[in-house]
Each structure stands twice: as C-alpha cells, then as structure tokens.
Amino acid sequence: MTTVRIFFEKQGEAAYISLLDLQRVFHRVLKRSGLPVWYTQGFNPHIYLAFCSPLSLGQESLCESCEVKTEADAPDCAAWAAALRPYMPRGITVLSAAPAVHRMGEISAADYRLTLPAAALPALEAYNAAPAAPVTKKTKRGEKTIDLKEILPRLGWQRAGDSLAVPVRLPCAEGANLNPALLLGWLQQQGDIAPWQCRILRTALLLPDGTEFC
C-alpha cells in the first residue's frame, strides 16, 4: 500500500472553509475523481484521509497537503493531480501529488507572511522596542501566558505600496504549535489595525533541518 500526499493551495474565500468541511470536500472530490483510494475496514468504510498541520479559520496557505492511501503499486501521481483539479472549489488549487516521504509528525516549524496596512508600522516598531510581548494561548488544558519575544525577538518587514509584509517562522510541531494569529492580535492591540486589513499566509512547512516538508 502506498501513501499519496496531495499538495494544494488554499486562498481567498476558501480560507473560511473549516477543517471539517475541508475533509468533506476532499472526500467528495476523491469519490468523484474515480481514483483508486483505499477505504478503511469495518462497519462504516470511509476513505483514509489525513491533513498536515491544519490552519485556523481565515488563514491562507501556499503549502497545504493531505494524504490518502492506495493499493496501487506505482500510482501515476501526475494523473492523480490532473484528476482532482476539475472538482476543487474556488480558492483551492491542487499543485501536485507524490508518494509521501516524511511523516507528518516530523514537521517542526512553519513560515508565514503577515500582510498589514502601512499604518501598522508603529505597532511593529513597538514590538521590537518592547522588553516582552505576553499573549494568552488556549490549550486543551486551559490557558497559559507565553512571551512572543522568546520565540520572535525581533520582527522585520518590507514595504510594498500601502502594505507591509512581515515574514515570521513559528513552531509548528505536535504539542509545540504557535498560531500566528497571536502575534497579529498583539500588533492589533498596539494600534488601530482593522482585522479586514490583515492577511496571514503560510508559505512553507519545515523539517527540523530547515528543509521543506514533502
């Protein structure tokens, strides 16, 4: 049995598709495509499907992936990608498919690009000048306060017209994940930054050695 990893982008209005609905989308698309996917055994068989480091609602990504299993010995992954593309909803674009190389548990970090209005510049400068940037993180065991400065001592940015692009790398491992929305929330508290003026885009999932997950 072979594990096939499907790589896709999730942008625009598709950012507001929840993980549960995204699972439903892929189940329907895989069934309609006619691809030889493997079904679980038992009373209620269903397609084996697992998503890598799912995003929070409203966040976009250039590097999403999910994996399915097939009993085909040598699946034609290019044909898989071509078969899936016509059925995807707007905002979800299948990039490629390939046999899985790494386990999802090997992911350790993620790169993001925050896009902010130019008016957010004082908030970015305030972050760099602050001795600490405490935020409250919700966990399964409750809430805890963490200091963003321990993870991101300093922020950099580039200006493009009326916007600021802020690249950040955050932990994205099982049990050690940091949502970029926490950083965005801290910055929004420092200045008059409307949520609709901001964008969170994930650009890469990374292994411990800094190479991209595949």
Dihedrals φ, ψ of 40, to 5°? -65, 160
Threshold 0.85, pTM exceeds: yes
> ∠131-135-137 over CA atoms, to 5°?
145
pLDDT for residue 106 is more than 80: yes
Question: Are the beta carbons of 115 and 199 closer than 8 angstroms?
Answer: yes
CA–CA gap between residue 209 and residue 200 (Å, rounded): 24
| Per-residue pLDDT at 18 | 95
From CA 121, how far away is CA 115, in angstroms rounded? 11
**What's the fold here for domain 2-100?**
Alpha-Beta Plaits (3.30.70)
* Confidence bin at 160 (pLDDT 50/70/90): confident
Q: Do 2-100 and 106-206 have matching folds? A: yes
User: What CATH fold (topology level) applies to the domain 106-206?
Assistant: Alpha-Beta Plaits (3.30.70)
Q: How confident is the model at residue 101 (pLDDT cuts 50, 70, 90)?
A: very high
Tokens of 154: 């300093």
Task: Tokens 């930054």: give the residue.
Answer: 193
Q: What is the pLDDT of residues 15-59, one digit of tens each?
A: 999 999 999 999 999 999 999 999 888 788 889 999 999 999 999
Q: Where are the domains of the chain?
A: 2-100, 106-206
Local structure of 47: helix, strand or coil: strand
pLDDT of 169 reads 97
The mean of the pLDDT values for the chain is: 93
What mean pLDDT is predicted for residues 108-137?
Answer: 96
pLDDT in the model for residue 207: 97
Pick the closest to residue 192 from 133, 113, 120 (CA basis): 120
Structure confidence at residue 73 (pLDDT): 82
